[in-house]
C-alpha cells in the first residue's frame, strides 16, 4: 500500500479530533469540572500538544517502517482545531 493511501485511510478511520473527544469523555467520567471550551482553549494555547503531536509520536515511534510507511508528520498533522460544539458532538 502506498504511503499516501495509508495516510488517507488512517485519517478517515481515526481522525485526530477523536483524541480530544476521548479526552473530554475521560474527564467527564471522573467528574472533572471542565467544558469542551476548556479543552479547545488549552489546544489553542498549546497546553495540550495537539498541533505538534506528530513530534511526540515520531519521537516515541521513530522513523517510518515497512509496517507503517507513512511519516508521523503527514499522518498526524492537524489542519484545523475543532470547535467546542464539534468536540461535544464528537463525544456524544
How high is the pLDDT of residue 31?
95
Burial class (CB in 10 A: 0-12, 13-18, 19+), 85: exposed
Q: Write down the pLDDT at residue 29.
A: 93
Q: What is the pLDDT of residue 12?
A: 63
pLDDT (average), residues 33-61: 80
Residue 15 clears pLDDT 80, i.e. is over it: no
- Determine the pLDDT at residue 11: 58
Give the global pTM.
0.60
The residue ranges of every structural domain in the chain are: 3-91
DSSP secondary structure string, 9-43? Answer: HHHHHS-THHHHHHHHHHHHHTT-S--HHHHHHHH
Q: Are 72 and 3 in contact (CB under 8 A)?
A: no
How far is residue 80's CA from residue 20's CA, in Å, rounded to a whole number?
13
Q: What is the mean pLDDT of residues 30-40?
A: 92
Per-residue pLDDT at 21 exceeds 70:
yes
Amino acid at each position: 500500500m502506498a504511503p499516501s493511501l495509508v495516510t488517507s485511510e488512517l485519517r478517515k478511520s481515526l481522525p485526530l479530533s477523536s483524541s480530544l473527544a476521548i479526552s473530554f469523555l475521560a474527564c467527564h467520567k471522573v467528574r472533572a469540572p471542565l467544558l469542551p471550551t476548556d479543552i479547545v482553549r488549552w489546544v489553542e494555547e498549546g497546553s495540550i500538544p495537539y498541533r505538534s503531536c506528530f513530534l511526540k509520536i515520531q519521537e516515541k515511534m521513530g522513523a517510518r517502517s515497512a509496517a507503517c510507511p507513512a511519516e508521523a508528520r503527514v499522518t498526524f498533522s492537524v489542519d484545523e482545531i475543532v470547535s467546542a460544539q464539534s468536540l461535544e458532538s464528537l463525544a456524544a
